[in-house]
A and B are shown apart, each in its own frame.
Chain A
Amino acid sequence: GENVEQHPSTLSVQEGDSAVIKCTYSDSASNYFPWYKQELGKRPQLIIDIRSNVGEKKDQRIAVTLNKTAKHFSLHITETQPEDSAVYFCAASVPLMKTSYDKVIFGPGTSLSVIP
C-alpha cells in the first residue's frame, strides 16, 4: 500500500519550546523521506530530507529521525520561533513495482503555531 500518516494535525507551542511531528509510512521499500514547510499563501519548500541508509540528520534547529523497522520518522524543531509557524508536510517515496521509478506521497500536513 501507499499511505503516509502524520500526527498531530495541529500543534501549538510557546516560543522557545520544541515541536515534534511524527509520520508513519506503509511501504517497507520507501527509502527517501523529505519534509516540506508551507507558509501561508506560499509554495511548499524543502527543509530537510533523510534517506534510509541513515537514522538521523540534523540541520541547525531542525532534525529528522528515521526508524525503518517501525516505519516511522519524525521532525524535531528546537527553540521554536514565530517564523516557524507554517504547515509541515512529511513525505515518503513509494517505488512503482517492477521499475526503478518512485513517486513521493505526502502526509496530510501539520499546522504548527508558535506563540510569542
Chain B
Amino acid sequence: KAGVTQTPRYLIKTRGQQVTLSCSPISGHRSVSWYQQTPGQGLQFLFEYFSETQRNKGNFPGRFSGRQFSNSRSEMNVSTLELGDSALYLCASSRGLLNEQFFGPGTRLTVL
C-alpha cells in the first residue's frame, strides 16, 4: 500500500509570494490533516479535511487555506508569504482523526 506523498518536497519563495502544497493520502483514507513543524514549536495543527469538508482548523491567519478533492487529495495554500512561514509542512491521513495518522515526508518551505 503506497504511503502518504507530498509535493513538492522543497520550495524556496520570497516574501509576498504565494505557494500551494499538495498531499495524496493513503488509499481509503478520507481524513487529511495539515501541520506546520518548526524547531521548538513542535507540530502546530493547521486544519483537517474529511470528505471535501474542513471540519476543524487551528489558530493560523486566513492567509493559510486548504481544500480537499473528491479523491481525498488535499492542497494547502499560503498567500502573502512571510519570513516566519518558513517551516516543514506535514500532512497526515487517517481513516478518522481519532485513529493513527500516517504522515507524509513533508514539504520544506523556505521564505527569503
Contact = CB atoms under 8 A, between A and B. Distances in A.
B100 A106 contact: no
A95 to B, nearest CB: 9
Given A101-B55, A103-B58, A104-B33, A34 B100 contact: yes
Range for the number of chain B residues in contact with chain A: 20 to 34
Range for the number of chain A residues in contact with chain B: 20 to 34
B100 A49 contact: yes
Interface of A: 6, 31-32, 34, 43-46, 49, 89, 91, 93, 96, 99, 101-109
4 A-B pairs with least C-beta separation: A106-B43, A43-B103, A108-B42, A103-B56
B106 A43 contact: yes
A96 B106 contact: no
B103 A96 contact: no
B45 A106 contact: yes
B97 interface: yes
A89 B43 contact: yes
A102 B105 contact: no
B36 to A, nearest CB: 11
B101 interface: yes
B63 to A, nearest CB: 19
